[in-house]
């Protein structure tokens, strides 16, 4: 059994209209919510073995805050193709992960994350900023994802529900 944690980045700022989308920072709410999701992961004993993040500033800062507040002790891997990100990119990236890794967190963007969740678990779900989905996959090897494995959505948390 493998687990994928799907985390949409925390709320970002639109205060600088000329700033490139990839460079947008977290706003005040995002800076508050990302650490809360990290602490929640720790409390739920869901700290991943590996965190993969989009290169967008808001996603990287979300991943960093989650890492620092969840007791994650690994490096955050930045995956350039996660921006803007699509389901196929997420699947191909997961298929290359070593099998000793049992749980992976992907920190990225919509609409790609909602589409990815649908592909993995067959369920449509809204994922606002800082939303976290937990999907269990009935596989022993990440490479088995190429077989269109059907996972199960175990939980979906919105940050306002865990406060």
Tens of pLDDT along the chain (163 residues) come to 999 999 999 999 999 889 999 999 999 999 999 999 999 999 999 999 999 999 999 999 999 999 999 999 999 999 999 999 999 999 999 999 999 999 999 999 999 999 999 999 999 999 999 999 999 999 999 999 987 789 999 999 999 998 6
Coil, strand or helix at 133? strand
Residues found in the chain = 163
Give pLDDT, residue 17: 85
Instruction: Evaluate if pTM is beyond 0.85.
Output: yes
Alpha carbon distance 71, 120 (integer Å): 27
Does 133 fall in a domain?
A: yes
Does 16 fall in a domain?
A: no
Give pLDDT, residue 163: 65
Alpha carbon distance 91, 99 (integer Å): 14
Domain with 123 in it: 2-10+23-162
Does 54 fall in a domain?
A: yes
Q: Is the dihedral of CA 121, 141, 38, 32 positive or negative?
A: negative
User: What total of structural domains would you count in the chain?
Assistant: 1
Q: Which of 160, 154, 159 is nearest to 46 (CA)?
A: 154
Give pLDDT, residue 52: 98
Does 17 fall in a domain?
A: no
């Amino acid at each position: 059994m493998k687990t994928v944690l799907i985390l949409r980045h925390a709320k970002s700022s639109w205060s600088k209209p000329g700033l490139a989308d990839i460079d947008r920072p977290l706003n005040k709410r995002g800076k508050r919510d990302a650490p809360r999701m990290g602490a929640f992961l720790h409390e739920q004993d869901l700290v991943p073995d590996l965190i993969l993040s989009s290169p967008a500033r808001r996603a990287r800062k979300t991943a960093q805050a989650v890492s620092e507040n969840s007791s994650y002790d690994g490096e955050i891997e930045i995956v350039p193709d996660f921006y803007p990100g699509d389901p196929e990119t997420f699947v191909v990236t997961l298929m290359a992960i070593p099998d000793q890794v049992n749980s992976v967190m992907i920190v990225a963007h919509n609409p790609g994350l909602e589409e990815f969740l649908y592909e993995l678990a067959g369920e449509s779900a809204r994922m606002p900023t800082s939303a976290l989905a937990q999907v269990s996959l009935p596989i022993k090897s990440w490479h088995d994802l190429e077989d269109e494995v059907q996972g199960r959505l175990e939980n979906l948390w919105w940050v306002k529900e865990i406060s």
